[in-house]
Amino acid sequence: MGMTMTQKILARHAGLPSVKAGDLIEAKLDLVLGNDITTPVAVAAFDQAGLTRVFDPEKIAIVLDHYTPCKDIKSAQLCATARSFAQRFGITHLYDVGAAGIEHALLPEKGLVGPGDCVIGADSHTCTYGALGAFSTGVGSTDMAAGMAIGENWFKVPAAIKVILTGKLRPYVSGKDVILHLIGKIGVDGALYQSLEFTGPGVAALSMDDRFTIANMAIEAGAKNGIFPVDDQTMTYVKDRFFRPCAVYEADPDAEYIREVTIDLSSLEPTVSLPHLPSNTKTVSNVKGLPIQQAVIGSCTNGRISDMRAAAAIFKGRKVHNGVRCIVIPATQEVYLQCVREGLTEIFLEAGCAFSTPTCGPCLGGHMGVMCEGERSISTTNRNFVGRMGHIKSEVVLASPAIAAASAVAGSIASPDDLKEVY
């Protein structure tokens, strides 16, 4: 029996000729990632185990992004612990305020991950890098500690679901709508500890940013990882960024999948996830008019330059609705700078948005947009669990940047086409 893309990457990193679903393996790692919340926990485990060295200071990345710029004394101490550890072991890839960004947008931008890599990160959305044809997955902080020490991790080889994409996206439909549609179709546990492997002619019609968004939210279907084939777009993206040799894998023709799901991209409509699960999906046309008090545009899911451009196109010449707070957060310093260069920042500010330095902030209810009881936010983030963005009686609606921006202008859930009738 042949292997899937994920299985081939794991076999290579385990030094095995082949693996199959359910096998327990030890695989070498190309990168170990932590952030300001998870790294201090890993440091404590590292020190408690009596570890005295890291396997390779060039293959560890620590990104201070969740509660930064530090919101309080405790978050400042967490960052200080992470900085001290990086200094102690000469870790070169420490990204701090002013030179950082949201980790899962930053690492591909910096060329730290690439095709064929095996990556773990102490953050559940580490699966983002599957957009580049890498195996990447989230782990706990103790696994991060072990990974930093020995450069290996154990895995149970996942079975796979084949997601066949056909057609092309229509206007105002993006990768966010694709992954929300898929999660709505299979459920938040529909791919539990399985690999979501995207394939089909529709892949070529998706931008790299669309793929990053889709892979990022694979975990919201319970997946171990999400992964895309490596094509010309992938190689164009990594060119002049990623300087290690690329390892390109393709699934075997006889690879075994436990399920196949086909999505016709041309049939998709703008989609949102209503509280309190990403699987609670509805098309915008079915829920438009639902009032909001806040809009958040950013995060590791949708804070890249194409997301900023999509939102700015809606805001240009318009104003955020009275009674709505709109917070725009570019995912990295480079995206922030590009917004300035292209005049997007001016558009956001003139529309009445708050424009922030890169941070995860509101996504996890940390800062920069925490809600009180009874409030509802439309957000381009990835989770809408109870209390995710503040009070347990607040609500989060997940959406694409275009829909979030249109809703901020309308004061309720809306599509850009709805604005043409009124504004």
Secondary structure (DSSP) of 16-51: -S---TT-EEEEE-SEEEEETTHHHHHHHHHHHTT-
Which of 129, 104, 107 is CA-nearest to residue 117? 129
Q: Which segments within 143-298 are labelled E, that is strand?
A: 152-156, 159-166, 194-199, 225-227, 259-264, 271-273, 281-283, 294-297
Round to whole Å and give the CA distance between 344 and 348: 6
Q: What is the pLDDT of residue 418?
A: 85
Predicted structure pTM score? 0.95
303 pLDDT exceeds 90? yes
Q: What is the pLDDT of residue 401?
A: 98
The label of the residue with tokens 């229509």 reads 170
Confidence of residue 325 (pLDDT cuts 50, 70, 90): very high
> What per-residue string of b and e applies to 118-133 under the rule 16 or more CB within 10 Å gives b?
bbbbbbbbbbbbbbbb
Average pLDDT over residues 264-271: 97
Round to whole Å and give the CA distance between 122 and 362: 19
Q: What percentage of the chain reaches a pLDDT higher than 70?
A: 99
The label of the residue with tokens 């009738």 reads 421
Confidence of residue 6 (pLDDT cuts 50, 70, 90): very high
Which of 26, 102, 163 is CA-nearest to residue 334? 102
421 pLDDT exceeds 70? no
Of the CA atoms within 13 Å of residue 261, those in its CB half-sphere come to 20
Confidence of residue 422 (pLDDT cuts 50, 70, 90): low
Give Cα 188 to chain centroid, integer Å. 16
Measure the CA angle with vertex 32, ends 203 and 334; round to 5°: 60
What is each CA distance from 135 to 29, 114, 269, in whole angstroms?
A: 10, 10, 30
- What H or E segment, with its residue span, contains residue 135? strand 135-138
Round to whole Å and give the CA distance between 299 and 245: 29
Torsion of Cα atoms, 408 then 360 then 161 then 17, to 10°: 160
Confidence of residue 1 (pLDDT cuts 50, 70, 90): confident
- Residue 267 near residue 236, CB atoms below 8 Å: no
Residue 356 neighbours by CB distance under 10 Å: 18
List CB contacts of 129: < 8 A, sequence separation 6 or more: 104, 107, 108, 113, 117, 119, 136, 215
Residue 170 neighbours by CB distance under 10 Å: 13
Query: Nearest 5°: phi and psi at 337?
Result: -65, -40
Q: What is the pLDDT of residue 419?
A: 85
pLDDT per residue as tens digits for the range 180-199 = 999 999 999 999 999 999 99
14 pLDDT exceeds 90? yes
- Domains with residue ranges and CATH for the chain: 5-15+22-241+249-264 (3.30.499.10), 271-422 (3.30.499.10)
Q: What percentage of the chain reaches a pLDDT higher than 90?
A: 97
Q: What is the pLDDT of residue 411?
A: 96
List CB contacts of 399: < 8 A, sequence separation 6 or more: 176, 270, 271, 272, 273, 284, 378, 379, 380, 407, 413
Polymer length of the chain:
423
The label of the residue with tokens 């707070």 reads 325
Angle between helix 175-186 and 208-216 (nearest 10) = 30
Burial class of residue 189 in the structure, from the number of CB atoms within 10 Å of its CB (0-12 exposed, 13-18 middle, 19+ buried)? exposed
Confidence of residue 124 (pLDDT cuts 50, 70, 90): very high
Count of helices and strands (H, E) across the chain: 15, 18
Round to whole Å and give the CA distance between 135 and 116: 7
